[in-house]
Structure 1
């Protein structure tokens, strides 16, 4: 979702059916611990928080994209 420009937690919850705020927050926190995401808090009222992919996270996402391509290729080969 972050790669497609969805960076606010409320938007993320609305995009994924069945995703709870609690589960999303746990996932976001874990990805921040790994250095994949960074949290940006804006000094506004009401408070606003956004998440961004770090430079390391961008590299990680590219690896995941390649794994997804490989999985799709393997599935096509199995279907033959």
Structure 2
């Protein structure tokens, strides 16, 4: 008897995107930064002033990580004094929507709306 031909390859998790999600959720400030940007607060100094407990050092690490993933971009203006702003990239917009869906899923789990399992 001839062995049945396999029709589906083994499915692997999305390695890079899963690592991104894990890294962003591991950074307790990234979601806050996205919230600030959504509210039009895009300058680092203003971000630090608006969020209790957020230091410039930690914010810079968070912003750098998000830029490395391509979620945020840095815009430097040729002015005196220098001005820097951050904004969500088109890819970052997609990524933030995925995080929003994960948050909705978490809320369903907390309310007990999700099926048991």
**TM-score, normalised to structure 2's length?**
0.64
Higher relative contact order (CA 8 A, sep 6+): 1
- Residues 1-32 of structure 1: per-residue CA shift (max 9 Å, x gap): 11221111011111211000000000000100
- Residues 27-78 of structure 1: per-residue CA shift (max 9 Å, x gap): 0001000000000000111110000100000000000001111111111118
1:6 matched to 2:41: yes
How many residue pairs get matched?
A: 79
> What secondary structure is seen at the aligned counterpart in 1 of 2:85?
strand
Q: 70, 75, 78: which is aligned to 1:35?
A: 70
**More strand as a share of residues:** 1
1:69 matched to 2:68: no
Can you give the 5+ residue segments of structure 1 that lack an aligned partner in the other structure? none
Can you give the 5+ residue segments of structure 2 that lack an aligned partner in the other structure? 1-35
Root-mean-square deviation (CA, aligned residues, Å) is 1.7
